[in-house]
Structure 1
């Protein structure tokens, strides 16, 4: 609640208006029973009714009822606006925070769980806030004003009501303490369920290819069963609150009626006065009933708020300095670098490398040896544990991430297409590119042939599944051709392209790499014969380095790796 108040505090004017209108609504609602009591007391005896006075009170009742209803309506409008703006702010901050979270967090948490926090949990929080605002403001004012009016009518009956009130608190506290734990588990399990659904639907082809449908259904059924269990227990416990507090309230109501009835014959209380006190006893307990009735929503909302704030409080990636590079020549120096994802399991140690401008560096080695990790460190997706990486003599941790990453053009094995036109996807790194520049880049990357066959050419709207994997990769290559970055990183950049197109694209890459420092991660060793330097990695270390012919002459690890691909010949 304290964390939530920081967001609520941004809307102090709305909050103040809501409290004022709640006060007006409640005071008028509580003043109306006094008018009813006064009207009743105008009935003095049989055939002795003071009609002028009674009609005076009845007219005032109608007027105050209308004003109270209008105030309640405006208060609800304000509460709606305040609630949805708070949720908007939470979602906006969550999205901005996700942009600055380190990749390690995103790697360790499923996208489905993160989406669940930003979408589903904030929706549930908004429902709880809406009910909470409406009931909280009205309830507090109702309790205070009711006690004031009751004291003005009869002190002893008011003290009786106050003495019996804690029974409702004890009952509600006992039950709500148990239901809150269930709502926390319910929220966590819902996140797991969303993550599984996202995983299974997003990878449906893999699921079908490996006959995983039944296993996926079993996993879903197990999580769904847990969600059902926690939801039922949470609702069961929380639903006990309302009838339990109502029972206590009815006992209090009966006590007021009984004590009041004994006071009337002695003249300590009138019939109208008793009717007012009974009405107030009911009004006084109503906020406790209302609050207990929304405990389910409030506890569910607070459990979801806990997950949202857990995301917002995740540590951001390290500070981004303002350093820049004016002219990039492409000299890359790696000095005694060490890094591991899990600090208990060492990966890269004592990594040293000096790359001169214009060199074409190929990185090869078995799966898991650290090739892609090296690229991640070079782009500063992860920070090194020890040592330093320099570009043109400047340590990369002294450069802004934008300045660093604008030095590189990347084509990865994993392609990425956003929802938008072909033009949008190609000009992603250069939004101000002209149509001529885009077409020339597409021709260089050999993607123009399939682009011009699309229904609307460059203006065709693409989705993730609207073109083939090879076409996606060609578009990714086109992006780099358009940007013409000072340095290149190619991680199996032609893995999804047919052999003929691959040869054409390789020619385009050869032109592009001339005079540019390039890092090529390759599994097909035939594509890197012309590299200036080949780094052979194993277990996070460079075990061999040199040109293709030199490494073959050594007849070491690279020799065996290279020949293993041509055993058939």
Structure 2
């Protein structure tokens, strides 16, 4: 992980290492200056005032230098950390977008957000400072021990044994907090998921007066997160608690040795003070190692969760081929599909579906709710693969086609159009800066939104707050999105299901322009929506009840489509696809 994400930042990492190592070296010199100053002051009247002034000036200069180096290392470390973690966020986001819908249906968007942001944020210190600071702390520790040996080998040996025992004790406890921290991150993800779901359904929650119930649920999830946070903090704090207890004993030992040696005349007062200073330098890197170990525990838990996410693999792997140019024909060959193919007790959504749609024609897809219409179109856009059989576009099995080629040539317009809090052009181009404004304007005018565009203060650069458009305008914007992509195959999932007749007329005109020369599937509840379709396919309980040219089926009084037309005339244009005529 360090090699992959810090490798491109190696020069910044080397500069960070240089700052930390230089600061370490200066830190080792400061006690020497202080010891000489103390011994010089002890001489009293015979002290060399000029030397004392030089020592004081050198000490202040070196102290300032250490602080400046520390500040520079902190700034550069933050830059390295954010650059590395942002690259990891981008990789995680790219990986999540590549996963199939099965994986996304098992997790809430809030949980995914926590995985991408919360877990990665916990890794920021690991990326920015862990390796360099551990190396710098180890160097400072070794340097301080060497200075002890140079002053008095007996004290140096004792402090070295103490440091070894302390490091072994900390190493034994360093893993204690990883599992509790992982559970804390999981409860945090559940909390985010709970909040996201309730905010997404806020209108229903308010309309049904369920606010109090959901608040109690929030408090329950929040309580779990709080309890696990406290538990993981207590387990991680074992490291520094042990460190504090050991160093309390260590300071007593070093001060006792210094006092004894000074009383025996073996060392000077400055050297005794030097022992105390170097003991603090032994404590400082071990404290830093303690802090880094706690951060490593957090990073370890986050790395486990990030690793789990990166190990997920989409069942939809693209093939080596590209779809041929021009309009594409569509063929279903004995297709069976189930959302849980591993469970044979679950009835397939589609069973033995076969039909052929010639290139450039429009298929009107009809059927009762639950008949498998949307599932069929999901197979065309390859959000799922058939359990059995083949789906072919332009003569190629969709599993043989590169996913990028398929996504570029097949466009889907759903009932619920997703709009972003961004400009009109960003909503249409999906934030692609290379799409020119003129092309966006042309697409809007093509679908009949020219007069609406003319009223916008900044044209296509005007911000488009979510919820500011009617259902009809949102559908027309979705049509304009498809116009920009210029796909070969278009799928419209009940585009007029929520529109009034006047708006539906405008939408039908835009749809006629949109589908011209393209292969299309239109799912509809209103027969007017498929009145210009070339072919009609009627589904019932996952099977093809009827398939043929629309005009031929309309003339056949025994066809399901003719029956729907009769019901529609009797009901004065009501929605008739859900009626029992299809049973």
Shorter-chain TM-score: which interval? 0.7 to 0.9
* CA drift at 1:384: 3.4
Q: Mapping of 1:417-566 within 5 angstroms? A: 417-426=419-428, 431-432=435-436, 433-434=438-439, 437-438=442-443, 440-443=445-448, 447-448=449-450, 450-452=452-454, 460-480=462-482, 485-510=487-512, 513=515, 516-525=518-527, 527-528=529-530, 531-546=533-548, 548-549=553-554, 553=558, 565=579
- Whole-Å Cα distance in 1 between the matches of residues 370 and 311 of structure 2? 32
Q: 1:393 to 1:163 in 2, by over 3 A?
A: same
The more displaced of 294-303 and 67-76 is 294-303
Aligned to 2:74, which of 76, 95, 99? 76
Secondary structure of the residue aligned to 1:335 is strand
Q: Is the 8 A contact 1:369 1:539 kept in 2?
A: yes
Aligned to 2:8, which of 3, 7, 10? 10
Q: Is the 8 A contact 2:138 2:285 kept in 1?
A: yes
Q: Is the 8 A contact 1:545 1:551 kept in 2?
A: no
* CA drift at 1:498: 0.6
Q: Deviations over 1:239-294 (max 9, x none)?
A: 34334312211211211222333334555433332222222122112222233345
The more displaced of 295-304 and 92-101 is 295-304
- Whole-Å Cα distance in 2 between the matches of residues 485 and 74 of structure 1? 52
RMSD: 3.4
Secondary structure of the residue aligned to 1:537 is strand
- Whole-Å Cα distance in 2 between the matches of residues 49 and 209 of structure 1? 86
* CA drift at 1:424: 4.8
Q: Deviations over 1:155-196 (max 9, x none)?
A: 221221222234434554455433332221221111111122
Q: Is the 8 A contact 1:176 1:237 kept in 2?
A: no
Q: Is the 8 A contact 1:426 1:438 kept in 2?
A: no
- Equivalent residue for 1:393? 395
* CA drift at 1:222: 0.8
Secondary structure of the residue aligned to 1:191 is helix
1:323 aligns with 2:327: no
Secondary structure of the residue aligned to 1:178 is coil
* CA drift at 1:431: 3.5
Q: 1:164 to 1:550 in 2, by over 3 A?
A: farther
Aligned to 1:164, which of 162, 165, 182? 162
- Equivalent residue for 1:369? 371
Aligned to 1:353, which of 348, 352, 355? 355
1:255 aligns with 2:256: no
Q: Is the 8 A contact 1:407 1:487 kept in 2?
A: yes
Q: Is the 8 A contact 2:332 2:354 kept in 1?
A: yes
The more displaced of 146-155 and 354-363 is 354-363
Secondary structure of the residue aligned to 1:520 is strand
Aligned to 1:403, which of 389, 402, 405? 405
* CA drift at 1:321: 3.0
Q: 1:454 to 1:236 in 2, by over 3 A?
A: same
- Whole-Å Cα distance in 2 between the matches of residues 146 and 169 of structure 1? 15
* CA drift at 1:385: 4.0
Secondary structure of the residue aligned to 1:334 is strand
Q: Is the 8 A contact 2:421 2:464 kept in 1?
A: yes
- Equivalent residue for 1:154? 152
Secondary structure of the residue aligned to 1:474 is helix
* CA drift at 1:485: 4.5
Q: Is the 8 A contact 1:79 1:134 kept in 2?
A: no
- Whole-Å Cα distance in 1 between the matches of residues 12 and 440 of structure 2? 49
- Equivalent residue for 2:230? 232
- Whole-Å Cα distance in 1 between the matches of residues 145 and 57 of structure 2? 26
Secondary structure of the residue aligned to 1:160 is helix
- Whole-Å Cα distance in 2 between the matches of residues 168 and 44 of structure 1? 35
Q: 1:289 to 1:488 in 2, by over 3 A?
A: closer
Q: 1:276 to 1:365 in 2, by over 3 A?
A: same
- Equivalent residue for 1:191? 189
The more displaced of 489-498 and 396-405 is 396-405
Q: Is the 8 A contact 2:85 2:127 kept in 1?
A: no
* CA drift at 1:519: 1.3
- Whole-Å Cα distance in 1 between the matches of residues 267 and 379 of structure 2? 84
- Equivalent residue for 2:202? 204
Q: Is the 8 A contact 1:423 1:438 kept in 2?
A: no
Q: Is the 8 A contact 2:318 2:400 kept in 1?
A: no
- Whole-Å Cα distance in 1 between the matches of residues 202 and 245 of structure 2? 53
* CA drift at 1:217: 1.0
- Whole-Å Cα distance in 2 between the matches of residues 150 and 385 of structure 1? 73
- Whole-Å Cα distance in 2 between the matches of residues 318 and 153 of structure 1? 67
- Whole-Å Cα distance in 1 between the matches of residues 9 and 441 of structure 2? 50
- Whole-Å Cα distance in 2 between the matches of residues 420 and 55 of structure 1? 64
- Equivalent residue for 2:570? none
Secondary structure of the residue aligned to 1:344 is coil
* CA drift at 1:355: 1.8
Q: Is the 8 A contact 1:122 1:304 kept in 2?
A: yes
Secondary structure of the residue aligned to 2:324 is coil
Q: Is the 8 A contact 1:418 1:464 kept in 2?
A: yes
* TM-score scaled by length of structure 2: 0.84
* CA drift at 1:459: 5.0
| Structure 2 gap segments, 5+ residues each | 568-574
